[in-house]
Chain A
Amino acid sequence: MTKEYLLFMLINGLSEGMLLFIIASGLSLVFGVLRVINFAHGSLYMIGAFVAYSLSTLLTTGSLMSFLVLLLVVPPVIAVLGFFLEVTLFRRVYREEHLLQLLLTYALVLILDDVVRVIWGGDPRNVARPELLAGSVDILGLALPTYNVFILGVGPVVAIGLWLLLYRTRSGNIIRAAVSYPDTLGALGVNVSWVMTATFMLGCWLAGLGGVLVASLASIDLGIGMQKIIECFAVVVIGGLGSVGGALLGSLIIGTGITFFQLPFGRWALIFPYLMMAVVLIVRPWGLFGRPER
C-alpha cells in the first residue's frame, strides 16, 4: 500500500466528511436553538436530493449553469418547506416533553419518506456532474475525482460562512445567545419565535445543500435519508449536540473513519458510525465538545 493510495483515501474520506458536515451542522444548529432533535432532517436532505434530480431533468445536462441553478434554487426550496413545518408543527411542541418532540419528528420521517416514495419511486437516480467537475485533477501526482475535491472545498466555505454568520453578525449573536441563554432572550426584546423559525430554515437550507451535492456524487435512493440521519446522529453525538465546531470534527472523524475502515473490512465499514456513536455515548454522552446538561 503506497503513500499515494493512503493520500487518495484521505482526500475521499475528508470530502465524505465535509458533505456530512454540511448536513450535520444544520441538525446541530437546529438542536442548539430549538432544543428539538429533528429526526426528519435526513428526510429533508433526501427531498433536497430528489428535487435537485427533478429540476436537473428540466435543465441542460452537464452544464455548469444548470449546476449553479440547482445550488441556488434547491436549498431555498427546502428552507421554505422548513418554514412551513416550523410554523405549523414544531412551534407547538417546544414546551412539551422530549418524548412528544421525538415522536413528532419521527412522524415527519414516516410521512416525508413515503411522500418521496410516492413521488419519485424506489429507483436509484443521479444527476450528471457538470463537465467542469466531471473529470479528475492532478494533485501531487494523483488523479483525484474533481467533484470530490470540489466538495472538499465547499465544506470549509460553509464552515467559514457559518462561523462568520454566528460570530460576526447581529443575527448570529442572537442565535448564539438563544443557544446559551434561551430564557433571557425574550427579555432582551428579541422576537424569539422569529429566531427559531430562521434557524430552522437555515438548518433546512443546509440539508438542501447537502442534497444537491450528493445527487451528483452518488446515486440517490429512498434509503439515503435514514442512512444520513444516523450518521448525523453519530456526528452530533461525537461533537456534542448544538456545537458547530464539534459537528465539523465529528464529520471528519466519521467520514475518514468509514473510508479507512473499508480497507480491512470492506462493506462492514458502514457499521463504523454506529460503533463510534455507541462508544462515545457510553464514555462521554454529552459529546467531545458538548457539556453535560446538569
Chain B
Amino acid sequence: MDSQAVNQSQSGNLNRPGTVAIVVALVLLPFILSQFGRTGEFWIWVTTEMIITGLFAMSLNLILGFGGMVSFGHAAFFGVGAYTVALLMKKAGVPLFLALLAAPVAAAIAAAIIGWFCVRLIGLYFAILTLAFSQLLYMIVFQWYTFTGGDDGIHGIPRPEFLGPTSYYLLCLAIFLVCFMLMRMIVNSSFGLSIRTIRENMERAKFIGINVRRYQWINFIIAGAFAGLAGGLLCELNRFAQTEFLHWSKSAEPILGSLVGGMYSLAGPAVGSAVLIFMKIILQQLHRSMVEMWAIVLGSILLVVVLFAPGGLASLYQKLFRKSDS
C-alpha cells in the first residue's frame, strides 16, 4: 500500500511513535514556557496563535490543496467565526463554549451561501468571485458601525476565569487535534477521494458520475466551518474582533502557509503557518521597524515558491533530499 502515489494521497500517515512524541511535546510546551516569566507567557501566546492559524490554513487547504480551488476570500469565514464569538459573548452574554460552537455553524452558513454561487465558476473566475464576496463582507462589517463596531472592532470580550494562558493554549491544542483527526478522516474517506478526483480532472470527474458542483460546494462549506472555528478561537485569544480578520490580506496567510508547508499534505499548511509566524516574531525581535517589512518578506517567499518550487517549499526539500539520496 505504501507506494509513492498512496503516500501522497493518504495523508497524515506519520509513524505512531513520532506522532505521540509531537503531541506530548506540544502538551508539555506551555508548562515549560511558563517557567520563563513574561517571556514565557509571550511565547505561550505566540504558540497558541500558531495553533489557531494552523487550523485556519488547514481549513483552506481542504479546498486549495485537496480540492484544487484557489480561494482569495477564505478570511470571510474566519471573520464570520470571530465576529460570531465576539457578538454572542459581548452583546448576548453567551458562554465561551456555546459561542465557540456557534462560530463554525455561522461560518458554515455563510460558506453555504457564498459557495453556492462560487462553485458555479472555475479557476480564475472562482478566485475573483471569492475575493469579491469576502470584500463585500468586509465592507458590510466595516460600514455597519452600530452592529459590528465598524473600524473600531469589538473589544473587551470576556474570558472565563479558569482560562489562563496555559489552559487556553491547551484548549486550542485539544480543539486543533480533534479538527486534525476530523479533517484526516474526511480526506481519507470516499468523499475526500472524490474531491481529489475532481481536482485532478474536473471534466472526467463528471463523466464518472460525480456531481462536481455539489461536492465542491460541500467541501467549501466544510472548509468554511473549520475556518470559522479558527476565527472564533483567535477572537477569544486576542479578546477582540476587528475588520482585519476579514480583510483580503488575511486570506493571503493560509495560502502562504499552505504553499510553504506543502499543499498536498494535511499537516503541511499548519507547519508552514507556524514557520511563518515564527519568522515574523524573529523579525520583530531583530528590529521593531522590520515588522513594517513583513508583507515584503511574505511576498518574496511566495515569489520564490511560485518561481522555483510550485509544489510548495516541502516539495523543494523533497527534491533536495532525493538528489542527495541518489
**Do A and B interact?**
yes
Binding site for B on A (CB under 8 A): 37, 89, 92-93, 96, 98-100, 102-104, 106-115, 117-118, 226, 230, 233-234, 237, 267-268, 270-271, 274-275, 277-278, 281-282, 285
> Are A107 and B128 interface neighbours, CB within 8 A?
no
Smallest beta-carbon distance A86→chain B, Å: 14
16 inter-chain pairs at a CB distance below 8 angstroms, sorted by A residue, are A89-B307, A98-B70, A99-B70, A103-B255, A103-B305, A104-B306, A104-B307, A106-B252, A106-B255, A108-B299, A110-B296, A110-B302, A114-B294, A226-B248, A281-B121, A282-B117
Q: Would A233 and B131 be within 8 Å (CB), given that A110-B296, A281-B121 are in contact?
A: yes
With a cutoff of 8 Å between Cβ atoms, the chain B residues found around residue A278 in the complex are 117, 129, 132-133, 136
> Are A281 and B129 interface neighbours, CB within 8 A?
yes
With a cutoff of 8 Å between Cβ atoms, the chain A residues found around residue B305 in the complex are 103
> Are B310 and A96 interface neighbours, CB within 8 A?
yes
> Are B125 and A110 interface neighbours, CB within 8 A?
no
- Given A230-B132, A267-B143, A271-B143, 5 new contacts (CB under 8 A): A92-B307, A104-B302, A110-B249, A110-B296, A281-B132
Could you say which of B123, B129, B249, B300 contacts A107, with CB atoms under 8 Å apart? B300
Closest to A270 in B: B139
With a cutoff of 8 Å between Cβ atoms, the chain B residues found around residue A92 in the complex are 307
Complex Cα spacing A274 to B303, Å: 28
Smallest beta-carbon distance B24→chain A, Å: 36
With a cutoff of 8 Å between Cβ atoms, the chain B residues found around residue A113 in the complex are 295
- Write out, one digit per residue, whether chain B residues 89-130 have a CB within 8 A of any chain A CB (1) or not (0): 000000000000000000000000000010011011101110
The answer to whether B56 has its CB under 8 Å from any CB of chain A is no
Listed from nearest, the 8 A-B pairs whose CB atoms lie closest are: A110-B299, A111-B299, A107-B302, A114-B295, A274-B136, A107-B299, A110-B295, A107-B303
Closest to B127 in A: A102
With a cutoff of 8 Å between Cβ atoms, the chain A residues found around residue B143 in the complex are 267-268, 270-271
Could you say which of A106, A230, A234 contacts B302, with CB atoms under 8 Å apart? A106
> Are A114 and B292 interface neighbours, CB within 8 A?
yes
Smallest beta-carbon distance A44→chain B, Å: 14
The answer to whether B293 has its CB under 8 Å from any CB of chain A is yes
Q: Would A100 and B296 be within 8 Å (CB), given that A271-B139, A282-B120 are in contact?
A: no
